[in-house]
Amino acid sequence: MSERRLEGKIVLVTGGGRGIGRGIALAAAKQGADVAIAELDPDTAKTSAEEVSALGVRSVGFPCDVGTRADCEGAVAATASELGGIDVLVNNAAWTRTPGRPLLETTDEDFARTLETNLWATFWMMRASHPHLLRRGGGSIVNFASNSGTFGRENQAPYAAAKEGIRGLSRVAAQEWGPQGIRVNVICPYANSPGMVAWSETEPETYAASLATIPLRRVGDCEDDIGRATVFLASDDAAYVTGQTLFVDGGAGSTR
């Protein structure tokens, strides 16, 4: 096993300006990857790219609203143009209303926006990246789902539906694209992201109850836990792994 698992690889991370996305970007850079960061906030995209570059690899950051097809396609094109291609796509960016609402109080607008920034965004990014992955001889896609979907958490209907849709989409892509050398896997994380922090503040009782179900009794670190797991799935160490969901959640998935 090489010391730098992603040496020579080009990685595109959506939502890479903060939280889990930033953790993934840093973890990939420390394993030798050049990293493109697509982020809604242009300031955090720039800051994160600078942090990655400081690790001795190439990095670019650009604003991207993944809920817009044109922005998704533009992010893929910009990555290929600036860095020379794409070997790994990480679909991490997402949006959900915080706090959540009961299903019967969920508006069409909230449901649509959640689907756009999760399921549709993943589809758009995968479709746009496909030819670039092929040109590099194949590659890896790591999509992000959520225990909100696998458990069916209350007040999270749009997010749960979108994230479970991503799992289905990923399994289909793994079947169709596997013969082309493209692997597609999913991570269900439990991490100290900005969204998690907001949830803990707006719904402390629900958050505490959720934490109590974690066998390891801690919230995962964005870089050390989620980032390194993503690096594994992106790397040749996982060359025979596709169509799978990896629960990086301290054991919570095992209690379903």
CA pseudo-torsion sign 207, 213, 219, 220:
negative
How far is CA 171 from its chain centroid?
A: 16
Peptide bond before 42: cis, by omega within 30 degrees of 0? no
Single out the residue of 123, 87, 127, 91 nearest to residue 235, CA to CA.
Answer: 87
All residues at 6 or more sequence positions from 55 whose CB lies less than 8 Å from its CB, including other chains: 26, 29, 30
Residue linked to tokens 């299903």: 103
- Give strand pairing partners of 14: 38
Residues labelled catalytic? 159
Contact, 195 vs 189, CB < 8 A?
Answer: no
All residues at 6 or more sequence positions from 96 whose CB lies less than 8 Å from its CB, including other chains: 114, 118, 156, 158, 159, 195
Residue 223 is classified by DSSP as I
